């Protein structure tokens, strides 16, 4: 499901991404990857774009700046905690460092597209299903837990469940 962000949303993501990197530098926190600052900012901006797109389609609160940590939860869809993951590949993988790093109830995978203000929500999975189907894969920096995007549930199924929970008769 491709989602277009408005100019305002793009601006807010830019500011959040820049602020995140600046706060980390002020706190002397080492970057997760050894990259120049502009790449760190871009990675953070892109991550916020993914989170904004998910928040937009579910009508939940937008992501905010977290000074210490988000505890593995980027968003809340009603009472459901969500970890939004970003891939730069159109059919990328959902990756966690370990099963323990999957802290939220569900994870949603979002891919970048060729258009800056458009992202593609590839699908979702809950923690228990992730743990039962994930494979170990090494991308060159140690073994990670991985589910390919084709193994995820379509985002429309989650949206339908959320809407039914909110507004359904039962």
Q: What pLDDT, on a 0 to 100 scale, did the predictor assign at position 22?
A: 82
Q: What is the pLDDT of residues 24-59, one digit of tens each?
A: 777 776 655 555 555 888 988 999 999 999 999 999
Q: What is the model's pTM?
A: 0.90
Query: Which pLDDT band, with edges at 50, 70 and 90, does 79 fall under?
Result: very high
What's phi and psi for 44, nearest 5 deg?
-65, -40
Q: What pLDDT, on a 0 to 100 scale, did the predictor assign at position 11?
A: 97
Give percent of the chain above pLDDT 90. Answer: 74
**What is the mean pLDDT of the segment spanning 132-150?**
95
List the structure tokens of 166.
Answer: 């909110």
CB within 8 A of 70, min separation 6: which ones? none
Q: How far apart are CA 52 and CA 117, in angstroms?
A: 11
Collapse the DSSP code of 61 into the 3-class scheme (helix H, G, I; strand E, B; otherwise coil) and give the result. Answer: coil
Distance, C-alpha 23 to centroid of its chain = 20
- Checking if the pLDDT of 84 tops 80, the result is yes
| Cβ–Cβ < 8 Å for 83, 97 | no
């Amino acid at each position: 499901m491709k989602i277009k962000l408005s100019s305002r949303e793009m601006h807010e993501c830019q500011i959040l991404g820049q602020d995140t990197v600046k706060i980390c530098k002020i706190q002397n926190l080492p970057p997760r990857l050894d990259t120049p600052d502009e790449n760190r900012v871009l990675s953070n901006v892109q991550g916020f774009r993914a989170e904004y797109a998910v928040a937009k389609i579910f009508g939940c609160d937008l992501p905010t700046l977290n000074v210490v940590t988000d505890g593995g939860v980027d968003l809340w869809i009603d009472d459901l905690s969500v970890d939004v993951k970003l891939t730069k590949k159109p059919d990328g993988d959902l990756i966690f460092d370990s099963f323990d790093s999957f802290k939220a109830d569900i994870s949603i995978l979002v891919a970048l597209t060729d258009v800056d203000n458009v992202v593609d929500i590839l699908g979702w999975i809950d923690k228990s299903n992730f743990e039962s189907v994930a494979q170990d894969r090494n991308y060159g920096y140690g073994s990670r837990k991985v589910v390919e995007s084709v193994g995820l549930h379509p985002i429309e199924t989650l949206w339908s469940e959320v809407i039914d929970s909110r507004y359904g008769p039962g």
